[in-house]
Amino acid sequence: MKGLSNPVVLVIDAEPLNLTALAATLHARGFEVHCAADRAAAVKAAQEQTLDLIICDTSLRGEDGVALAEELRQLPERSDVPVMFLCGAQLPDVILRTHRHGSSFHIRKPIDAKLLLELAEKALWMPHLVKSHINRPHIPLSAFGNQGNASTMGMSFAGQ
């Protein structure tokens, strides 16, 4: 992992083989992984752990994974935890629902391990980038003189 040591991930999937494969893949990359196969276990883990990322299947044997992820993000100190959703089908309504509920990424099953790791690492940086952008002081371009045009700031663009 670049820059983060042992990020804590909660993986939620009702299928034991999927849960094991996801956890093993993430653990091999240096993630601290907590697994849950249902709503009760997921809520308990989210309450007890400081999470950096939630990876949740959209369908959990009769339970709505999207609603569960939203519930977890309502817990204290969990609102900015990025969520990645897993789904067996790439249906437009599922993708729209996951994005409406704050999904960072949506991955279709079967999971490609390389893609999972790449997107997990990207998702981990998202809240940090947003916070740093929000907290960064914004300097108006006029403060640079000459109306802050690119040529006076030492920048050039093709076609100038």
Element of type H or E holding 87:
strand 83-87
Highest mean pLDDT among 25-39, 55-69, 98-112, 134-148: 25-39
- For residue 146, what are its two tokens? 């000459």
pLDDT confidence of residue 132: 47
What's the CA dihedral at 20, 22, 25, 31 to 10 degrees? Answer: -100
Tell me the average pLDDT across 29-46: 96
Highest mean pLDDT among 28-42, 60-74, 81-95, 132-146: 28-42
pLDDT for 2 beyond 90: no
Q: What is the DSSP letter of 103?
A: E
Alpha carbons 160 and 142: distance in angstroms, whole number: 21
pTM of the model: 0.75
Which among 40, 57, 37, 59 is positioned nearest to 48, based on CA atoms? 40
> What is the per-residue pLDDT across 117-158, written as a single tens digit (0 to 9) for each?
999 999 888 665 555 444 545 555 455 555 444 444 444 444
Percent of the chain with pLDDT over 70: 68
**Range 8-153 classified under CATH 1.10.10.10:** no
pLDDT confidence of residue 56: 95
* Higher-confidence position of 160 and 118: 118
